[in-house]
Structures are given as C-alpha cells and as structure tokens.
Structure 1
Amino acid sequence: MALDNLFPGCISTRLTARVFEEEGVLQWREGKKQNFSLLQKESPIAAVPGDVKLDLRLFGVIPFKKVTLQVVPPVKVMAGGHSIGVLLTADGVMVVGYSHITLENGSKVCPAKEVDLLPGALILNVEGTAVHSDLHLSYLIDHLARKKEEIRLRVKYQEKTKEIKVKPQFCRETRRYRIGLLVRDGAAGVGTLTFYDSKTKKFGALGHIITNSGAPGAWDFKNGRIVPASVQSIQKGQPGKIGEKIGFFGEKGISGNITKNTQFGIFGELRYNLANPIFSKPLPVAMGHQVKEGPATILTVLKNEKIEAFQVSIQTVFSRPRSDGKALIIKVTDQKLISKTGGIIQGMSGSPIIQEGKLVGAVTHVLINDPTKGYGVLAEVMLEEAGLLSERKEGVSGGFSSVVSGNRI
C-alpha cells in the first residue's frame, strides 16, 4: 500500500502513519505492527477490500492529518488498441471561429464579432426556426437577410441562452449574405479505444477531451457514437510537424454510444464485445501508485484494423497528475514504430499503455518538438470516469485526428 504519493516528497518522507482501524484489511510484511513509514518498502499490503483509517504524524510525534483510505478489489478490463471513428453531433451549430466578409468595395467586416458572438457558442435558431446543420444555417441567414436588415439568433454559451441581433453583409466572394463566422454542426475523427468491460460493455477511449477547435471547453454534443475505422496510410511525424493516421470509417465492426466527453477521454457503452488478438483475457488495472518508470508496451493500429504491440519507456510518473489528466511522460523506443510514424501521431490517442501485465494508462498527446515523446493519462482515472471504479475517498497537441472542417456563414 504505497502512500508516499499522497503528499510532496519533502513531507511524505517525514510522515509516520499509525493504523487505528483497519478491520483485518492489511497484511504486514514482518509481523503485526501499528506504525509504519509512508515509504513503499515499509508499508503494509492491502490484502482484502475495506477501509483503513490512519493517523499521520510528522516525525512520529506532531499530529498532521487523519485520513481514510478505501481498498477496492482489483478491477480487470479488456485492453483496447482498436482503431475507432468518433462522431459527435451538436445540438445546433457550433461557432468555431471568425471568417471576415469581403464587401463589394474590398473592405472586410465581421458582424458576428461586433455583437460578441463568441467561438464556443451554439446557434440554436434563426428568427425562431431551429437550425439543423451548417448548410441550413447558411441558407437561413442568406434567405432572411434579403428580406430584412437585421436578424435574430438564439444562441447558447457556457450554459446560458440569449438572443443576439446581427446585421448580415453581402459577401463579394461567395455572392451571398453572411455574418462572418466559421461553424460546424459536428466533430469527427480517428482515435484509439483504450479499454472496455465485457460485463457492462462500458468503454474508455482517446484519453483526452474533444474540444471546439480553438474555442474553450468541451464539444457540447447532442449525440455521439464510435464506429469502426480502417487506417489506410500514415503521415509521418517529425520535429515541429505532427504526424497523423489517415483512414476511413467502416460500417461493420465496432459500435457504441458516447455519453461523456471529459479531460480524461470519451466514455460510453459498446453494443457488443470485441476481440483483442494480443490480450485475449481481461487485464488488471494498475492504480496510480503502481505505475513506475521503465519499459512498457502500447497497442495501436498502423494498417487496416490490425492491432500491434510496440515498446515504449515510461520516463516520468508525476506525483500529482495535472488538471488536464496528463500523468505520464513516455518515449517510443520501438524502432519499427519510429520508422513508420516518427513516434506518436494523431489518431494514436487512447492507445493503451501496458506495464508488467497491467493496464496503466493511455497515450494522449505528443511533444511537438520531439514526436518520440508524449504524455499519458492514468487508467485509474479513466475507469473512474467510465463508472467502473469507486470514487477515491482521499480527497502540446492532442492525438485526435480530425476529419471535419468548418463552413463559412
């Protein structure tokens, strides 16, 4: 039971724990004890599930803190590595940026920016007519602007809904009325499945959030699903240039619904179980304190739908994961993978990281200046997000390969 990562090293090395209630949960390495250091070599082993109450003291004397630790039974899941297509549909049309309008006299304007219609906002309706797609929105603006000087938009931004009035301008280049926005009605891309539970069919993938392409926050989606994806080619990465998997979506194979889009990945339920040719049986999931620096393996697809294993090295394990989920720094050591991809590329996010027979995390981001290195998220926090692990009581470019561009309105 490693507890030293609960506090900074300068404190944990000086703390002594006294067990005052543990209900037979702990197994001691050298006979029955009550006091122990937080260092791994002296701490007891959690033998069965249950709660352990500890009294922490500095130098064994000064009261520091009382904590209750929950020991949960080992969780096992099926390893992923499968290539997946990710599809999200917005409830309305998402503003992802500005696109200035060129007037007949050559000057440029942006009416939407002038009325503070911000990236990240959802346009729900125009003059009371619900918006169904980016093309539908473009038609409504042009059609209504030919009848009236100013039009009303119903928009949602950061959970608040309001009405905005804007004056469309005739664009010399497109020959239609526009308001100066770049919008999308959905997001789509290629990523990698991290794990799934064969009993509940709950899954986790990507290991990072899907954002609004330059706008703050998560993609505010109405419907989301994963579908099969086949990798057809690789754009090799190099320092300063991120590589990418190039593929297409299939009709038969992986199928599931996305219910959550968080900083730790996307989560949902598969419609049916999948096979993994490399790990045919469920793997135990490592808790954060069990992950260590050293050799590991990642699973990903480089051609068609074939899952392959490649060697990496976990170079750093953060004592406290960052708020965006980054908890590991990994380096690709497999020369075959480096020769084909240059290292970590877009579409590889979600690739499971396996160490000593345990699922420890997932690949999330690549370091732009060194594509052989990247970040990883802990499997433990992904399982919590998926609802497969009880909540704990103690208490850079992403790798999503996008295949959808925006439309100008």
Structure 2
Amino acid sequence: MKKYKRRIILFVLLCASLALPPRISMSFPTSISTQSAISFSLFDFFNHENQQPIQSDLRVIPGGQSIGISLRTNGVLIVGYAPIIDSSGKEKFPAKNAGIKIGDMILSINEVKAQNDLQVSEEIDQQCQKNKTINFTIKRGNQILKKQISPVFCSETNRNRIGLFIRDEAAGVGTLTFIEPKQQIFGALGHVITDMDTNEKIELKDGKVIESSISSIEKGKNGDPGEKIGTFMINSNFSGKINKNTESGIYGTLEGKFTNKFYKDGILLGLKSEIIPGPAKIYTVLKNNTIEEFDIEIEKIMLNRNDNKNLIIKITDPKLLDQSGGIVQGMSGSPIVQNQKLIGAVTHVFVNDSTRGYGIFIENMIKDSGLNSSAAAQTGSSFYYLLSYCSKKLSSKNLKYDKFFASYMINFC
C-alpha cells in the first residue's frame, strides 16, 4: 500500500512540475444545497483542451461602457407555431406536422436563399396563395434537412398559411469587457446571446455594437433580477462589428474614441492562478454613459471549470446595492479587476440572491477573442491553491443568466 501511495505522490509532483493543474468535475444542484459533489480524475491531468495560456504582458483597456447590440441571424429563425383556424373552427399546425421544430433555421425556400424574415415571409405567402407545397431547407444543430409543407386555409385571415412565427434580428443592451487597442479587438457580455423564445444560440450573420445610454434601472430583488433600461446613442463615441457569438461572450473589432478614466494607459491581465478570494472591483454604468467603480467580494474560485461560471462574486458596495439591488440584467460583461489586473467579467445573477452571481475568467474570453495566446502562463501555483481549495465544501444557489434583454419584430406566416 505504501508503494502505491508513493507512486501517486510522485505522479502528482510530476504533474505539478510540468505545470499541468489537475481538473475537477463539480456537480452544482439547481436547488439550494450546502454542499456539492467533488470528484477527481487522474487521467484528466494530460488533457490540454481549453488550457491555452495567455500572454502575461498583454495590455488591454477595461470596459464598463454600456453598449447597444444588434444581431442578424445566419438564416431566418423559427421561433414559434402560429395556430391556423380552419373552416370548421379547428386549430391546424401544418409546419409542425411536417416536422418543423422551434429553433430550426430556414436556409432556403424552393431553392431561394433566405435573406431576411420579410423576404421569407413574402416568399411563403406567394407560394401559399398558389396553394402549392413549399420545399424548405433548414438547419437543425449540425444537420441540414429538407421538409415539405402543404398550406392550410385560415378562416381568420382569409388566406392560406403554414403556421409559423419567424424572425432574423435581435437587439439589446449589455456591457463591454475590454478592448485591445493595437488590434482594436473587443470582448463583451461574458456569455452567449441566445434567442429569448427558443433559448438556442443565435447563429450570427452579422452584428454591430454602439454606445448605449442608461436611462433607469429596475432594481433587483430575490426571485426577480432587475435590469438596465437603455437606448442606443445616436452620437456614439465608438462603434464596432461583431464577428463571434460564443459561450464566453461576443467579439469583434471596434473603432472610435474608447477610454476608461480609471485605467487610461490600459491594464495587465490576471491569470486564474493569481486570483484570490477577497476584495475586487467591477466597472459598469448606472446612469447615462458614465462608468463607475464598485466594490465586490470574490467568494469562490472554480479553477478547472471551462465555462462562464468560474467565480462566485458578491456585491458589497453600498451605492450599487442601493441603486440596483445587486447584479441586474444588462450588467453582464462588466469587467472585474483585482490587484490592478483584469481577471474576469460578470455573467450571471443568483435568482434567490441578487447580491451574488457568477463571473468568467478573462483567460476564457481572451482565448475566444482571437487575441494571441502563445506565451506560456504561470500556472504552477494553481496546483497548490487547488489542493487547499478542494478541501472546502461548496455551496450553490439557483442561478439565472444575466439575460440579454432583447426586443424583436416577429413575422407570422
């Protein structure tokens, strides 16, 4: 038995010397619990996936600006079924019965490429009035499928229809996390933008960001997270193009006047191994377009999670608590700074405690942004921190995405 223990110790020390921190699989129950299961897998030590280092000397300008975001989907999204009342008064759903599902993306109709929701709606209507079977090419996940739908006469609208709600745009307000001034690459939100009806990731065709002005805040309370109410600024100081919509946020290029009065010369990035439980700062807008600094506490650090829930944070700033109640929708992407380094961004709020939520490691955002990440990171210390950290019991709360507050124009056909 001693021989096996010695082998395990030697193996662990070897991994530490190679700066390969062990990975943890954690189970976070959806209901409130005082502890959660922790399990280790020794064979995961040599899995390098999602452990790319970032440049230790990379400087970025922290964000905090409120931004207006508009997206167009790569195709036309099916967001619901529209009931058709036939001549006998019964509800019919021809598209649903033909195998069309909510969340499917329309790529073409009768071999005509889907350009936007208005064009698709008009094409469907033309075919419906001819009472012809319509051939759809749709994308479902990674599958490309062919479907045929036969129109049904609707007694309410007095025309043939197939019974779908569709759209191709989304718009809302979020927070900018950083910009790398040399390449003018930005990152924002810290989480993916999903469709509010289908809850599916929006497949991006193109998108834009401009500066937003916050007019008011609906204060959050337990069980009901609040939100920022904002408008797009006509005379925006900056504008940008969105190139990516990923699980860790949105990314693209920005041009114009971009400043943060707290860090005019930029800031270094903080590796996850450098983050410690304790005080930190977040930067966000509560009124108009003025960035403010607020105190938070980093309560827990999940070193080996590769999603956007890496930090548990708590709002401690009296002003922010008074004005917003804690974390609110529209605050996602607000940069987190500790020891004068950018370490992450706010991503979630706990439904039952709006003063607490999740944050993402800045490493995850930098990796997905496309910025150079070839330099070796100093990860050795994370191994020793992990051993002490994993001996603690973890707690969890019901959580909710700091949802991308969006408004849409929906066409039905």
- After TM superposition, is the score higher than 0.5? yes
TM-superposed CA distance for 1:273, in Å, is: 4.8
Gap regions ≥5 residues in structure 1: 1-10, 23-36, 39-57, 59-63
Residue from 354, 360, 378 that aligns with 2:361: 378
Amino acid at match of 2:160: Y
Residue from 275, 280, 290 that aligns with 1:296: 280
2: CA distance, partners of 1:333 / 1:13: 43
2: CA distance, partners of 1:65 / 1:145: 57
SS at match of 2:238: coil
Q: Does 2:214 match 1:231?
A: yes
SS at match of 1:381: helix
SS at match of 1:211: coil
**Mapping of 1:263-278 within 5 angstroms?**
263-278=247-262
Residue from 95, 98, 105 that aligns with 1:112: 95
SS at match of 2:303: coil
Hey, what does 2:147 align to over in structure 1?
A: 164
SS at match of 2:100: coil
Q: Structure 1 pair 65/103, CA: closer, same or farther in 2 (3 Å)?
A: closer
Amino acid at match of 1:307: I
Q: Does 2:335 match 1:357?
A: no
Amino acid at match of 2:350: L
TM-superposed CA distance for 1:204, in Å, is: 0.5
Q: Does 2:20 match 1:16?
A: no
TM-superposed CA distance for 1:137, in Å, is: 2.4
SS at match of 2:310: strand
Q: Structure 1 pair 290/405, CA: closer, same or farther in 2 (3 Å)?
A: farther
Q: Structure 1 pair 71/397, CA: closer, same or farther in 2 (3 Å)?
A: closer
Residue from 393, 403, 406 that aligns with 1:402: 406
1: CA distance, partners of 2:132 / 2:47: 67
Q: Structure 1 pair 166/379, CA: closer, same or farther in 2 (3 Å)?
A: same
2: CA distance, partners of 1:286 / 1:262: 21
TM-superposed CA distance for 1:83, in Å, is: 0.8
TM-superposed CA distance for 1:172, in Å, is: 4.4
With normalisation by structure 1, the TM-score equals 0.79
Q: Does 2:186 match 1:182?
A: no
What percent identity do the matched residue pairs reach?
A: 39
Gap regions ≥5 residues in structure 2: 1-7, 23-41, 380-399
With normalisation by structure 2, the TM-score equals 0.78
SS at match of 2:13: strand
Q: Structure 1 pair 171/239, CA: closer, same or farther in 2 (3 Å)?
A: farther
1: CA distance, partners of 2:52 / 2:117: 50
TM-superposed CA distance for 1:187, in Å, is: 1.6
2: CA distance, partners of 1:347 / 1:71: 27
TM-superposed CA distance for 1:214, in Å, is: 4.6
**Mapping of 1:247-286 within 5 angstroms?**
247-251=230-234, 252-286=236-270
Q: Structure 1 pair 172/236, CA: closer, same or farther in 2 (3 Å)?
A: farther
1: CA distance, partners of 2:175 / 2:244: 16
Amino acid at match of 1:304: N
Q: Does 2:196 match 1:213?
A: yes
2: CA distance, partners of 1:233 / 1:20: 52
SS at match of 1:336: helix
1: CA distance, partners of 2:232 / 2:53: 42
Q: Check conservation: 1:348, 1:400, Cα contact below 8 A.
A: no
Q: Does 2:339 match 1:342?
A: no
Amino acid at match of 1:403: S
Q: Check conservation: 1:367, 1:373, Cα contact below 8 A.
A: yes
TM-superposed CA distance for 1:387, in Å, is: 2.3
Residue from 308, 328, 338 that aligns with 1:325: 308
Structure 1 residues 204-249: Cα deviation after superposition (integer angstroms, max 9, x where no partner):
1000001233546521121112112111121222222221111111
Higher relative strand content = 1
Q: Structure 1 pair 65/200, CA: closer, same or farther in 2 (3 Å)?
A: closer
Aligned length: 360
- Higher relative contact order structure (alpha carbons within 8 Å, sequence separation ≥ 6): 2
Amino acid at match of 1:232: S
Q: Check conservation: 1:366, 1:399, Cα contact below 8 A.
A: no
SS at match of 2:343: strand
Amino acid at match of 1:302: L
Q: Pairwise CA RMSD of aligned residues?
A: 3.2
Hey, what does 2:297 align to over in structure 1?
A: 313
Q: Check conservation: 2:129, 2:159, Cα contact below 8 A.
A: no
Amino acid at match of 1:254: F
Q: Structure 1 pair 175/65, CA: closer, same or farther in 2 (3 Å)?
A: closer
SS at match of 1:326: coil
Q: Check conservation: 2:280, 2:337, Cα contact below 8 A.
A: yes
Structure 1 residues 158-209: Cα deviation after superposition (integer angstroms, max 9, x where no partner):
2433331112233444554332222211121110000011111111100000
Higher relative helix content = 2
TM-superposed CA distance for 1:66, in Å, is: 12
Q: Check conservation: 2:137, 2:144, Cα contact below 8 A.
A: yes
Hey, what does 2:110 align to over in structure 1?
A: 127
Q: Structure 1 pair 183/327, CA: closer, same or farther in 2 (3 Å)?
A: same
Q: Structure 1 pair 246/114, CA: closer, same or farther in 2 (3 Å)?
A: same
Q: Structure 1 pair 391/88, CA: closer, same or farther in 2 (3 Å)?
A: farther
SS at match of 2:118: helix
Q: Check conservation: 2:331, 2:402, Cα contact below 8 A.
A: no
Residue from 29, 43, 63 that aligns with 1:80: 63
